[in-house]
């Protein structure tokens, strides 16, 4: 499933969002980062599989070459770049999901203080599923993965990725596509409903 199939939905949301409720610039960044990652050939995270020396060469190359020069499809710089755009999109999707789920929740509920962002997310996620019948499974997995990365100690020698804690990582383009689909569904619920007739 190509990211391009969401182009019209993204454009429609941007056109409908006269007061920038969905943060149009961030939505465009999510879409363009995923599209660029896909255009560069991203399927899954290959760069993390490289040994440290090969990673170093690829990283130094991207510093010296930059990201605006067209790299070759098969070189390590391209492999890093497509992962960079993929991860950038995931971070932005999680931000939009957290902030816009809160905004949607406030449209339907009285103000409430939560002990933490995590508690707020859990309560609002349950509410969203029961209210709209939709799940945010892939956005939830992306959020958990990002939070594990933020809070786990990955500075131990040889540690490449944060502790898994039983979580299946979001790492394929198919996973990101499903997360984008969930995000677009969430954002569409923030749009004013037009009356028929």
Question: Which tops the pLDDT comparison, 98 or 49?
Answer: 98
pTM: 0.84
Does the pLDDT value for residue 11 go beyond 60? Answer: yes
CA atoms within 13 A on the CB side of 128: 28
Closest by alpha carbon to 99, among 127, 124, 68, 71? 124
Read off the pLDDT band of 152 (50, 70, 90).
low
What is the mean predicted confidence (pLDDT) over 19-48?
Answer: 91
Q: Please write the tens of the pLDDT for every residue from 82-132.
A: 999 999 999 999 999 999 999 999 999 998 999 999 999 999 999 999 999
Domain boundaries in the chain? Answer: 3-188
């Amino acid at each position: 499933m190509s990211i391009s199939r969401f182009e019209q939905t993204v454009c429609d949301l941007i056109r409908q969002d006269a007061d920038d409720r969905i943060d149009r610039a961030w939505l465009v960044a999510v879409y363009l980062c995923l599209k660029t990652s896909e255009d560069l050939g991203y399927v899954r995270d290959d760069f993390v599989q490289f040994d440290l020396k090969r990673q170093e060469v690829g990283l130094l190359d991207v510093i010296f070459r930059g990201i605006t020069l067209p790299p070759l499809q098969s070189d390590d710089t391209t492999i890093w770049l497509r992962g960079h755009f993929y991860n950038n999109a995931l971070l932005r999707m999680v931000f939009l999901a957290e902030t816009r789920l809160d905004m949607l929740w406030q449209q339907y509920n009285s103000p409430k203080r939560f002990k933490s962002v995590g508690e707020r997310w859990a309560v609002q996620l349950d509410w969203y599923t029961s209210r709209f019948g939709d799940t945010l499974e892939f956005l939830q997995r992306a959020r958990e993965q990002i939070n594990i990365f933020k809070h786990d100690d990955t500075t131990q020698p040889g540690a490449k990725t944060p502790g898994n804690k039983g979580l299946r990582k979001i790492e394929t383009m198919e996973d990101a596509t499903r997360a984008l689909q969930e995000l677009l569904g969430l954002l569409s619920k923030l749009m004013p409903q037009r009356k028929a007739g």
